[in-house]
Amino acid sequence: MSNTKTNKASEEAKNPQEHNPYTAEQMADMRNKMKQFYEEELPFLRLSEEYEKLQADVEEHKVRKMTMMVRGAQMYAQMSEAEEKGSKPEPDVTRTDEGSKDKGPRKLKKD
């Protein structure tokens, strides 16, 4: 039974004009109603479009603001870390060890 339904559907798809239940007058009437509907809806759709664009702009500005806040916090954290490292005493590289004090010119061993 389902096989006959698919055969009918495929025949209708091949020849839609033969199985069209509407007259040309009815089709013209439906087109006019559709056209009228779309013309009535256009102002609302345009308002909706403007609203969606503005909402997207607001969200984009929020993201930029949050990004800048994060960057500022990261920069502050880096500066704080550098100040902490700067306040701790660094090892003195110029300091000499006990065994390497200047004792005069070096003398070579003689055999």
Instruction: State the pLDDT at residue 81.
Output: 85
CA dihedral (67, 73, 78, 81) in degrees, to 10, reads -160
Q: What pLDDT score was predicted for residue 87?
A: 58
Q: Which of 47, 26, 48, 28 is nearest to 36 (CA)?
A: 28
pLDDT of 89 reads 47
End-to-end CA distance of the chain: 119
Q: Which tokens is 100 given?
A: 């390497």
Tell me what pLDDT residue 60 has: 97
**The predicted structure's pLDDT at residue 75:** 92
Q: Please give the Cα distance from 74 to 82 (Å, whole number).
A: 12
Mean pLDDT of the chain: 80
Six-digit token string for 38: 């779309």
Indicate the Cα dihedral angle 78, 82, 84, 87, nearest 10°.
-160
Q: What is the pTM of this model?
A: 0.44
Q: Are 22 and 30 spatial neighbours (Cβ–Cβ below 8 Å)?
A: yes
Q: Identify the segments of the chain with pLDDT beneath 50.
A: 88-93
